[in-house]
């Protein structure tokens, strides 16, 4: 149980890295833009004429500042997407879309309740904020994380769900945004009542940490480094950076919460005389470590390497040290001595806490995006001036850190004969990453058996023959390198109703459940052997064909159901459709009509079961119980809805002749392979037979075909 919880927390921590990765760019834009448009700074350095208000450079810098600021303003929705993508097992793009939808739905639900309960004025001061244009509760990135984690859990649970046939179009990945949206209506309502209590608790925790003084700062720095090997440091420090745990401060008339948000709000405020140390105490301690301490450790490891291996070690350690100094990315160096000498890492954690505490003692007010390297120090320390930041103490303390790290690491490596890079006769010279740590903990897990996916793989000629896999509403669309390796009989044995070949393209027709089949097949491909499967000599088993037509003629028709045409145009037998799938009756039986009128109407009384996202087709259930598919044109799915205007929605009850859709005939003639439109009954019993009632000109509402039931 403990390992399972740890594994989940580790994945949560990793998922934070995607939204965090944008912060350096945003900070760079805001840092340069905010600094070089600050009139006090421009006057100090005599740059008013070159970069002052009204100049081209000033305008460019203002745009840069706005571009950086918009990232920090919208971090909650960015975190919602990033966490959902990071935590989703497969089909990550679906999780991203569902998270954005759920984020807006949650805050819109909260906003509606705020309005219904007297508006923002009736809420506690500082509790309400503008979230992407919605008046909602001030939830910060916690709101985004709540959405991201919840949507990811729903996504992983439901992205392969199979629904009953009549609703199967909404199965698989299409179900994820639907269920997520519904769930987060409830979450929004719940948050309206719960979050103010949580908000109060967060502020109290922040007050406790903030009032703990230098000791609290040391503990923060120690824990932040200690959790890095486990990938949990993001879970620990982000609440301090982005929520009320890190304190609140009024900046330029607005209440800002979270240490990093406070710093960047002050960065954009020209009236600030000194950046709030109460906020930067959670950031500035990184600079002495990244720029000075770890490079000192790298030098110690180089000096203690064996002479014959120093050349190889030099390249590795130099690049790692420069990376640490410039960007603050320390993983290669830290994980190297974590592996070979945990005692060194323990000492490093102690000194990390001390670095944070010393920066707090010397009132260093330098913030950062996430790196703690020279770039951030220059932008947010040196460029802002020593009066506002006390950045000079980073250098003073940092020099001491370089000396201490160098001599202490050198002494311990020699004294304890620690096998740092270049000191082991057996192991190759290398630096380690988190992947090496995870590899020690995790074994490769095999995917469960999947007979359908295995059949598809064999039928397509093996993994090596597959170039691309996708799907539309009813077909698994694959591209292969060698079409001659495709075996239709094996593909049909997986449950496909037909196979269509178009050059190197293979379309395997499964019906609306295809999205689940696609997801399973993509999972299966990840661990399938990378080989080509060449068909053996065909062994065709003798089959007995029953003459159902003759048999039906001798039986009495028990019931006849008439299906009327939804289109005014030219009717014809389904076999004339210019598409193998439709002509071969692989998706159902019926007829085709080539439209001569723009209106598509309901063929009978019934219900619109689903409207395809691309608007080119409608699923329809008649009151008599027939499942129909009205598919306008051939290969019109590729038009992405252009040329179609739909007037109904899923679940809507309609009467015969009521307008469902209007099409742009001229546009479709110019952009679609054919206007020929199949009208299909997709679910027929063995005793059902379709009989064409009209050929040639037909008007909407006139009988098109009959279904005789024997």
Tell me the catalytic residues.
472
Q: CA-CA distance, 151 to 86, in Å (whole number)?
A: 11
Its sign, for the CA torsion 239, 242, 244, 246, is: positive
641 CB burial (10 A radius; 0-12, 13-18, 19+): middle
Torsion of CA 30, 32, 36, 40, to 10 degrees: 60
Tokens for 293? 């301490």
The whole-angstrom separation of Cα 3 and Cα 11 is 12
Contacts of 70-77 with CB under 8 Å at 24 or more apart are 71/22, 71/23, 71/25, 71/26, 72/26, 72/30, 72/261, 72/264, 74/132, 75/19, 75/140, 75/141, 75/144, 75/242, 76/103, 76/131, 76/139, 76/140, 76/141, 76/143, 76/144, 77/103, 77/132, 77/144
Facing residues of 677 across strands? 593
Which long-range contacts does 490-499 make (Cβ < 8 Å, 24+ apart)?
490/455, 490/458, 490/459, 491/455, 491/456, 491/459, 491/460, 493/455, 493/459, 494/451, 494/452, 494/455, 494/456, 494/459, 495/452, 497/586, 497/587, 498/580, 498/581, 498/584, 498/586, 498/587
Separation of alpha carbons 27 and 327, rounded Å: 13
Contact 8, 86 (CB under 8 A): no
Q: How far apart are CA 399 and CA 407, in angstroms?
A: 13
Do 336 and 294 form a contact (C-beta atoms < 8 A)? no
Distance CA 706, CA 26 (A): 64
Do 600 and 566 touch, CB atoms closer than 8 A? yes
Q: Check: CB of residue 268 under 8 Å from CB of residue 34.
A: yes
């Amino acid at each position: 149980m403990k390992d399972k919880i740890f594994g989940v927390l580790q994945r949560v921590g990793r998922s934070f890295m995607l939204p965090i990765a944008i912060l350096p760019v945003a900070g760079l834009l805001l840092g340069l833009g905010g600094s070089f448009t600050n009139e006090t700074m421009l006057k100090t350095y005599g740059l008013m004429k070159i970069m002052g208000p009204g100049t081209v450079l000033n305008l460019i810098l203002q745009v840069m500042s706005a571009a950086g600021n918009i990232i920090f303003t919208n971090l909650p929705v960015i975190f919602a997407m990033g966490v959902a993508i990071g935590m989703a097992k497969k089909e990550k793009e679906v999780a991203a879309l569902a998270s954005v939808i759920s984020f807006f739905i949650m805050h819109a639900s909260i906003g509606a309740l705020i309005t219904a309960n007297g508006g923002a004025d009736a809420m506690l001061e500082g509790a309400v904020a503008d979230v992407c244009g919605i008046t909602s509760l001030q939830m910060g990135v916690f709101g985004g994380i709540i959405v991201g984690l919840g949507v990811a859990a729903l996504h992983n649970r439901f992205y392969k769900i199979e629904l009953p046939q009549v609703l199967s179009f909404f199965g698989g990945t299409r179900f994820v945004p639907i269920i997520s949206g519904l769930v987060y209506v409830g979450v929004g309502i719940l948050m309206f009542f719960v979050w103010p209590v949580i908000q109060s608790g967060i502020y109290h925790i922040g007050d406790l940490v903030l009032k703990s003084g230098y000791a609290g700062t040391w503990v923060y720095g120690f824990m932040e480094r200690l959790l890095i090997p486990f990938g949990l440091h993001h879970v620990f420090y982000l609440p301090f950076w982005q929520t009320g745990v890190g304190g609140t401060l009024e900046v330029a008339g607005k209440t800002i919460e979270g240490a990093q948000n406070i710093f960047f709000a002050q960065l954009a405020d020209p009236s600030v005389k000194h950046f709030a140390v109460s906020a930067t105490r959670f950031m500035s301690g990184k600079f002495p470590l990244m720029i000075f301490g770890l490079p000192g450790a790298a030098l110690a490891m180089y000096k203690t390497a064996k002479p014959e291996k120093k050349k190889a070690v030099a390249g590795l350690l130099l690049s790692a040290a420069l990376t640490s100094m410039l960007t603050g990315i320390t993983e290669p160096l830290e994980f190297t001595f974590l592996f070979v000498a945990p005692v060194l890492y323990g000492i490093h954690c102690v000194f990390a806490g001390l670095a944070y505490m010393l920066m707090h003692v010397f009132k260093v007010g330098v913030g950062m995006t996430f790196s703690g390297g020279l770039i951030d120090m220059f932008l947010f320390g040196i460029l802002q001036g020593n009066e506002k930041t006390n950045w000079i103490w980073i250098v003073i303390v940092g020099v001491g850190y370089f000396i201490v790290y160098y001599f202490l690491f050198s002494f311990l490596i020699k004294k304890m004969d620690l096998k740092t890079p270049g000191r082991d006769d057996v192991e190759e010279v290398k630096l380690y990453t988190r992947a090496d740590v995870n590899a020690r903990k995790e074994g490769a897990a095999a995917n469960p058996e999947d007979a359908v996916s295995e059949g598809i793989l064999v039928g397509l000629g093996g993994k090596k023959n597959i170039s691309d896999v996708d799907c539309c509403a009813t077909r698994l669309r694959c591209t292969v390198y060698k079409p001659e390796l495709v075996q239709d009989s094996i593909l049909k044995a997986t449950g496909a109703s037909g196979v269509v070949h178009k050059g190197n393209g293979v379309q395997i027709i499964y019906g609306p459940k295809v999205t689940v089949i696609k997801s399973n097949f993509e999972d299966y491909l990840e661990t399938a052997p990378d080989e080509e499967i060449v068909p053996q000599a065909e062994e065709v088993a003798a089959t007995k064909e029953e003459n159902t037509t003759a048999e039906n003629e001798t039986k009495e028709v028990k019931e006849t159901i008439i299906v009327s045409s939804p289109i005014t145009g030219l009717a014809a037998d389904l076999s004339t459709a210019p598409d193998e799938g439709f002509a071969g009756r692989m998706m159902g039986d019926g007829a085709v009509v080539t439209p001569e009128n723009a209106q598509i109407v309901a063929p009978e009384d019934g219900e619109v079961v689903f409207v395809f996202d691309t608007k080119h087709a409608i699923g329809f259930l008649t009151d008599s119980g027939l499942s129909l598919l009205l598919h306008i044109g051939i290969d019109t799915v590729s038009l992405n809805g252009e040329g179609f205007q739909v007037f109904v929605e899923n679940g809507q009850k309609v009467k015969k002749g009521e307008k469902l859709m209007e099409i742009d005939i001229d546009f479709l003639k110019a952009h679609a392979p054919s206007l020929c439109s199949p009208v299909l009954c997709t679910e027929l019993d063995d005793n059902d037979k379709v009989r064409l009632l009209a050929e040639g000109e037909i008007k909407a509402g006139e009988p098109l075909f009959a279904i005789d039931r024997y």
